[in-house]
Homo-oligomer: A and B are copies of this chain.
Amino acid sequence: MAVKSVRPIRLGMVGGGQGAFIGGVHRIAARLDGHFELVAGAYSSYPKRAHASAAELGIERDRSYESFAEMAKREADREDGIEAVSIVTPNHLHFPAAKAFLEAGIHVICDKPLTANLKDAQKLVKLVEKSGKLFVLTHNYTGYPMIRQAQEMVAKGKLGDIRLVNVEYLQDWLAEPIELTGQKQAEWRTDPARSGSGGCVGDIGTHAFNLALFVTGLEVDKMRAQLDTFVEGRKLDDNVQAGFKFKPKGNAPAAQGALWASQVAPGNENNLTLRVYGAKGAIEWAQENPNMLWFTPLGKPKQLLTRGGSGAGAAAANVTRIPAGHPEGYLEGFSTLYTETAAAIRQWNKSGSLGKKSQPPTVGHGLTGMKFIDSCVKSSQKGGAWLKVSL
């Protein structure tokens, strides 16, 4: 994922202002590899919050908009206008916002689910076709290296004919009626007007479903489902069980699938798991430990494939940034030190001296480390003798 010697792409954002969640994730994701620069936004439908958010993000005042419609129009007119937009609003705004930008000739990156209802989704497909523009739906779980690895292994026939597909996405944050307490994320997700006809099924069920199809490449022939609501008074489902019969491939029996998504399962944070069993082997993966993929060739011991490890192939390597054994969170840990350094430098710029709070490791820690190495060498040379030290 090396940065190419090309200029970054100009990006705008709709939604994702102060108080939002997924907008910040999109911004980090866009920054991480350095391929985008964020230059415009309509961050909120409340003008005050929109502009305050823009200021915080370092967006010039004249590119902070109060509506996506205005933003689409004005940015399309600029020579240095945005080339792409990220739409990170509640579901019901995906369609009108996407429409506005596609019609303005701007590529669209959109959070899932696509729209609030099937009719809008079908319209949007036509709009995209007509526009000739890129439309990207952030089914982000497909970005994990070991998911690419899994997809590659299925495609190469390492599992033989697929027989069984099991995907689960379990959470517990809606086990109680927190939407009644003003929790914003819960509020719109349990409101049919803003979420559409699916609750849990739309919010996380679609992620699970997409993941299963992405990895297996199977197509659904028949399906059945049961939506349940366990929390009293809730208007949308908070649990879904679905079954699938996939289209047969060749002469093999048709594969069967099962999907379970729940937002009322205590002890589960974002427990997304995928298991695929074929005639010749199986893979098992869990998002909470995404750098690992279990592979069992039928009749042989189970193997643990790791991102960047000896069993991983080209598909995983293509989207891997760091060597094996470092979980991908390694980069965030590293980044935290940079961010604390930035805070220290700003403090230094302001006051000419360094505060004490959260200061990252410094030269003193380095000296301690050097004394440690030196003491190790000396003790070892003396046959492992105890040394009195001052580290």
Contact = CB atoms under 8 A, between A and B. Distances in A.
A24 B114 contact: no
Q: Interface residue tally of chain A, by bracket?
A: 35 or more
A226 to B, nearest CB: 4
Contacts of A354: 134
Given A28-B33, A288-B327, 17 more contacts: A4-B56, A9-B346, A24-B321, A25-B334, A31-B33, A118-B373, A125-B363, A137-B361, A139-B337, A139-B361, A142-B333, A197-B374, A201-B377, A224-B379, A264-B277, A270-B323, A299-B310
A24 B36 contact: no
B209 A372 contact: yes
A220 B329 contact: no
Instruction: Give the interface centre of A171, A242, A335, A346 by most chain B CB atoms within 10 Å.
Output: A335
A190 interface: no
A270 to B, nearest CB: 3
A135 to B, nearest CB: 4
A256 interface: yes
Given A210-B369, A365-B210, A224 B6 contact: no
Interface string A1-21: 111111111000000000001
Nearest to A34: B31
A193 interface: no
B302 A267 contact: yes
A267 to B, nearest CB: 3
